[in-house]
Amino acid sequence: MNRLWFTVQPLLALAAATPLLAQGFAFETKQQDPSRYRPPGLKILSQRAVPYGEEVLGVYAIRDAEDIEEGKRVKVWHEKGADLKVRNETIRCDTTNPMRITSTGSQMLMLELNPGGAVAPHNLESHLIWWAACVPDLAGKDPNSLQAEALKLGYSGMKIERSHSLPGNPR
């Protein structure tokens, strides 16, 4: 009987706590509004209404990346309704190889960019983040309207954009 009780007792404790844990997790992920927790200094780059709420893309905590020449470290804030993702990213601002380095959670993505070139829906987020990190005064402006600024800064606007995907979480 004692042996059975020692086996059943932890299971009973877990079963008793499960409704409380589930309720707590549901509260944290389903009922909270991420806009209430936006960090100070968040630069909103795009904001639009979607059927399930609001979609917001922003950056904050932009700082120099000491280990990368002309590099920046940035936190990317992405709200979609009640869902929130915050990613740490690295941006290269140099004129020879402008780049955004990010993660999908299972892959590291290295996105070679063409500041001053054509921007379409598939690369708009990358260009908004790049401009916010590298030229903060132009944060949130339509990247398609910044060709003259890119040329003044030394970018040709003629680079071919490429995407490199590496397996594994970089951090």
Q: So what's the pLDDT on residue 10?
A: 40
What are the structure tokens assigned to 121, written together? Answer: 């829906």
Give the dihedral sign, CA 37/74/81/47: positive
SS (H, E, C) 37-48: HCCCCCEEEEEE
Domain ranges for the chain: 1-31, 34-167
Q: So what's the pLDDT on residue 127?
A: 97
Please list the ranges in the chain whose pLDDT falls under 70.
1-31, 169-171
Q: So what's the pLDDT on residue 51?
A: 86
Q: How far apart (Å, rounded) are the C-alpha atoms in residues 91 and 62?
A: 10
Q: So what's the pLDDT on residue 41?
A: 94
pTM of the model: 0.79
Q: In the chain, at which residue ranges do the beta strands (DSSP E only) sit?
A: 43-50, 53-65, 71-80, 83-92, 99-103, 107-112, 162-167
Compute CA distances 137 → 9, 86, 87, 170, whole Å.
Answer: 62, 22, 22, 30
- pLDDT tens, position by position, 34-79: 888 899 999 999 999 988 889 999 999 999 999 999 999 999 999 9
Q: So what's the pLDDT on residue 3?
A: 52
Q: So what's the pLDDT on residue 23?
A: 33
Q: How far apart (Å, rounded) are the C-alpha atoms in residues 61 and 88?
A: 10
CB 121 within 8 A of CB 142: no
Nearest to 109 by CA among 119, 99, 117: 99
Q: Which residue has the tokens 């920046």?
A: 72
